Structure 1
Amino acid sequence: MRRLLLPVALSFAATAVFAQETAKPKPEDTEVWSPVPPVVTPAGAVTTPPPSDAIVLFDGKNLDQWVQVSDKSSAKWSVNGGILTVNKEKGVGNIETKKTFRNYQLHIEWRVPATIAGEGQGRGNSGIFLASTGTGDTGYELQVLDSYQNKTYVNGMAGSLYKQAIPLANPGLKPGEWQSYDVIWTAPTFNTDGSVKTPAYATVLFNGVLVENHFQLKGETLYIGPPVYKAYDRAPIKLQAHGDKSEPLSFRNIWARELP
């Protein structure tokens, strides 16, 4: 009997290794498709001018407040007619603010082109990283997407804190119409050993409709796998050049107010 145990044990070990190798995490593992938020028809985008204490991040004139994420050179997105448009040329990528933030209030307006094509996540995809903690798509992402009659996983639709928070409602407007986010961001804090002292929170109004109510985040945005925290002190705000084949998005009237 003992002579048979070794081959059997080796067989079980090989099976276990094979199972581990084939069970690699997939993006679909963290996609949630229900409950689908109710559709709400808003009055339109909230176009709030910056108050007296605001830090104006984009006033339609230039990109002096922004840099390329990759190498911190001058931002290379286009400014035309008071509008900032994603540059989808190869090698350009994301941009972020020169200034870093902890807690703040943010106002930003965005528009999906009226000529948008595609479906799901390939339809006007971008993102606002409320804290950009590194190069690429790292940090805490508020999703930008055409969510007007466009089916996708609900923790990846417009107004979601990507792969974490499902919006309370869907007040998305038709492609070609300006839309707005108003955000209250409470940054996480960390102990000296890098462990979480207090988590991050976000409140989001989408076209004037509350879609995230002081939501407690579980960590940074990850496309594959569960969110995790990584210690940081202050961070820029980042705009994403997603790289899909749909027409590029545009932004305008971006400002922030630092909070205690």
Structure 2
Amino acid sequence: MKATIPSILLAFLLSACSSGPDLKPIFNGENLEGWVANREEIWTVADGVLTATNDPDQKGDILFTTKNDYRSFILELDFKFGEGRIDSGVFLRDNKEQIQIGESGSLKRDMTALPYIPGKGYPIQVETAQTVLEKTDWNTLRIEVNGSSYTTWLNGTEIMTYESETIVPRGPIGLQLHPKREMSISFRNILATELPE
């Protein structure tokens, strides 16, 4: 018994230290409450999963949180590739700074968990994500935005940190369905928390 109590205590302390900030759902798993889209018909919710499917016009869309004043925050979500050539991502505070999910239209290769910025392209290009990316199953993407710096993890593996000179100081979080693609992508367990500054 004496050996068991310290073991339990150690496990509890390790768990408490590794849990980090308390992430809370920002997607309720039932509908688009708390989010806004230009074209809601391409976003569907079933069994706790949010799926985006491009229509025949392939116009794409961005689903933004109605909360539009995120500053420093952690976002965590699960995603799963659907049909077609996947080009999606998570927008950070506006519709420009983005963490890519799937294939880059310009580079024609997967750039998941790396930043894309119009005018700069992909300022960091590493292959780390390709060693842990599950192309036929669910993946967990974690993004920590702290001021003008952001870091990504994919399935628990740290991918990169980038210091941006162009990111706006506050804004919403967005999920992208890229235009000019026949594709679908699913999301679930979308969690976030704001960080003190």
Q: Specify the TM-score bucket, using the shorter chain as the normaliser.
A: 0.7 to 0.9
Between structures 1 and 2, the one with greater strand share: 2
CA distance in 2, matches of 1:233, 1:184: 14
Shift of 1:218: 3.5
Flag structure 2 segments of 5+ consecutive residues without an equivalent. Answer: 1-18, 117-121
Report SS of the residue matched to 1:58.
Answer: coil
Q: Which residue of 2 aligns with 1:140?
A: 97
Q: Which residue of 2 aligns with 1:216?
A: 163
Report SS of the residue matched to 1:249.
Answer: strand
CA distance in 1, matches of 2:72, 2:41: 24
- Aligned pair in 2 of structure 1 residues 52, 203: CA closer, same or farther (>3 Å)? closer
Shift of 1:102: 0.3
Task: List aligned pairs for 1:95-244, cutoff 5 A.
Answer: 95-100=63-68, 101-113=70-82, 116-117=83-84, 123-132=85-94, 138-145=95-102, 152=107, 157-162=111-116, 163-167=122-126, 169=128, 170-187=130-147, 200-213=148-161, 215-220=162-167, 232-244=168-180
- Aligned pair in 2 of structure 1 residues 65, 76: CA closer, same or farther (>3 Å)? farther
- Aligned pair in 2 of structure 1 residues 75, 217: CA closer, same or farther (>3 Å)? farther
Q: 1:208 corresponds to which letter in structure 2?
A: G
Shift of 1:60: 1.7
Q: What CA deviation, in whole Å up to 9, does each residue of 1:21-50 have, x standing for no partner? A: xxxxxxxxxxxxxxxxxxxxxxxxxxxxx9
Structure possessing the higher radius of gyration over alpha carbons: 1
Q: How many residues align?
A: 167
Q: 1:211 corresponds to which letter in structure 2?
A: I
Q: TM-score, normalised on structure 2?
A: 0.73
Q: TM-score, normalised on structure 1?
A: 0.56
CA distance in 2, matches of 1:74, 1:174: 28
1 or 2 for the larger relative contact order (CA 8 Å, sep ≥6)? 2
Cα RMSD between the aligned structures? 2.8
Report SS of the residue matched to 1:254.
Answer: strand
Matched, 1:66 2:35: yes
